[in-house]
Amino acid sequence: MDTDAIRYAIQKAGVYPQYALYDVKVTTKPGRPAVPGWVTTSLRSTSGMVEQRIGTAIEARGLSGGLSYYRRL
């Protein structure tokens, strides 16, 4: 995971971790095998927000994960 990219994006956006609320949610393909310890949930509305893409945060052995965050307009 590229934690430097995450840290840079947060600082650039002016969002300070001690004052922000963060949820980490993972979306997967339908029909994927169950992952022990993971539960189903729903995503919050992003109405009135804009997505800021940071890029690929995790990449290993053919798996990758992108990272983005939402900010108010």
Helical residues (DSSP H) of 1-73, grouped into ranges: 3-13
Is pTM beyond 0.75 here?
no
**Is the pLDDT confidence value at 59 over 90?**
no
Three-state SS at 64:
strand
Of 19, 9, 18, 4, nearest to 53 by C-alpha is 9
3-state SS, residue 66: strand
Q: pLDDT band at 67, cuts 50/70/90?
A: confident
Residue 28 pLDDT > 60, yes or no?
A: yes
As a whole number of angstroms, the longest Cα–Cα distance in the chain is 38
To which H or E segment does residue 59 belong? strand 49-60
